Amino acid sequence: MKRKEFKGIIPAVVTPFDSNEALDLPALKKLLDYLLEQGVHGLFIAGTNGEAHLMNHDDVVLLTQTVVDHVRGRVPVCSGAGRCSTKETIQLANRLVQTGVDYISLVSPYYQVPSQEDLFNHYRTIADHVNAPLLLYNIPSQTGVEIGIEIAERLAAIDNICGIKDSGGDFEKQKQYIALGEKYDFDVLNGSDSLILETLKAGAKGSVAATANVLARLEVSLYRHFCEGQLDKAQVEREAMDLLRMNLKKAVAPAAMKKTMNLMGVPVGKPRLPIREANETLTAEL
């Protein structure tokens, strides 16, 4: 399937909300301008840090259409359609196709944990009914199910399943996903910020990074130094991410991220309930 190249530093973009928990579209456009000015190579919206699980279909479609219209093709955009139900995922994905988005990500079904064969059938059925480049999204800590290598290989052979965002945090498993790219047109994007440099060295196309909401310029520089073979400089930049990265873990995502961005003067509002904003102690640390 013909598609735009999706690589480099791709922020897992937070979703700005106003005081009534509605989408804040003016703030969203300012956030997009800020990220593009930092030199990011793509945008990953309506994911975990984007609070897609707390948004209905209309919210996700409005978010995606706004981003696509504002970005105007300057970088590729991927939006999330993954839902627990196969039928509902197909419905949302096809609405997102109409926005002109470049990729659609598909987080595995959660709560009612599917077997591996259930998972394969879920993704195959979506691919059969959605005419767009599809990106699998492996995040077993949140979904309760991992996309196994055997299932991933069967899915990689499907034309419009173009790759996987792996947030499993298992470097050896991610290398197995990367190996599939030698057989198929199947790209791997790292989703664990701590592994950003190691996975690039192993052959990942890039990193969908939550920390890139805040540290985009640093991470874009890391990627440039990696591409130039200046691995010592890239390693220093990778280690510079750790202080923020560890503080972000002290609250449920994206509470600490949103607080940090608000402190930076990039207004994104609070998380949607039930997630509360960062408390005073964490705010002081941030």
Q: Which residues are catalytic?
A: 137, 165
CA separation for the pair 286, 274 (Å, rounded): 22
Residue 136's DSSP bridge partners are 106, 164
The closest alpha carbon to 123, from 112, 113, 137, belongs to 137
Is there a contact between 131 and 160 (Cβ–Cβ < 8 Å)? yes
Contacts of 89 (CB under 8 A, 6+ apart): 81, 82, 83, 106, 122, 126
Angle at 254 between CA 22 and CA 34, to 5 degrees: 75
